[in-house]
Amino acid sequence: MARKRKSRRQPPAAKPPSSGGGYARSREKSEAARAALKPLEPGERPTAVTVGAIAAMLLAAANLIAVVAGWDGAAGEDDRARALAGSILVTGLLAVVAWGMWQAKYWAVLGMQTLLALTVIATALGLVTVGNLGNAIVLVVILVAAGTLFWFMVKAMARIQMPERPSRAR
């Protein structure tokens, strides 16, 4: 019967301890990305934030027009009151977010991103139960538009949040 020999290989040399490994590289990338950001000039508003402000205001106006026209989709009197209260609340929220984004406020952009994220989730869930091709196309358009605006607002939000850099005098 053949006996197996134990290998006499040396154990691999221990690697010298690193100062964070992947975390250090990730931190370096983040710092490089922050250094590449250009701070906003006074009164400047990133394009994505302007588009978001206009979209929020248009949605608020459309919601207000729907409320005034009496379109609520509710069946009973109690349902109508709840639908009206919800519509007024959403209209107010969108108007406040639109105003804040027009002023390039960080909290407004963060709020709009939250609304966009909820829209993406709800739209994706709606696609699961879609009844016909026309509705599916509308949902995909909403999904793509909300996702794209969300994506471009990330960098804009970083620029809004940036502290002003001191000028380097020599």
Phi, psi of 96 (to 5 degrees): -65, -45
Number of domains into which the chain is organized: 1
Q: Is residue 81 part of a domain?
A: yes
Q: Is residue 21 part of a domain?
A: no
Looking at residue 170, its pLDDT comes to 44
Residue pair 77/13 in contact (Cβ under 8 Å)? The answer is no
Q: Is residue 52 part of a domain?
A: yes
Q: Is residue 38 part of a domain?
A: no
Q: Is residue 80 part of a domain?
A: yes
Looking at residue 87, its pLDDT comes to 87
Q: Give the C-alpha separation, 76 to 88, whole Å.
A: 18
Looking at residue 32, its pLDDT comes to 77
Looking at residue 21, its pLDDT comes to 63
Range of the structural domain that residue 142 is part of: 45-161
C-alpha distances (whole Å) from 120 to each of 30, 113, 145 are 27, 10, 9
Q: Which residues of the chain have pLDDT under 70?
A: 1-21, 34, 39, 72-76, 162-170
Select from 118, 158, 124, 114 the least CA-distant residue to 144: 124
Q: Is residue 169 part of a domain?
A: no
Looking at residue 16, its pLDDT comes to 53
Q: Is residue 135 part of a domain?
A: yes
Q: Is residue 123 part of a domain?
A: yes
Looking at residue 10, its pLDDT comes to 60
Per-residue pLDDT of 26-47, as tens digits, reads 888 777 776 777 767 777 788 8
pTM: 0.69
Mean of all residue pLDDT scores within the chain:
82
73: left (phi over 0), alpha (psi -120 to 50) or beta: left
Select from 96, 98, 105 the least CA-distant residue to 51: 98
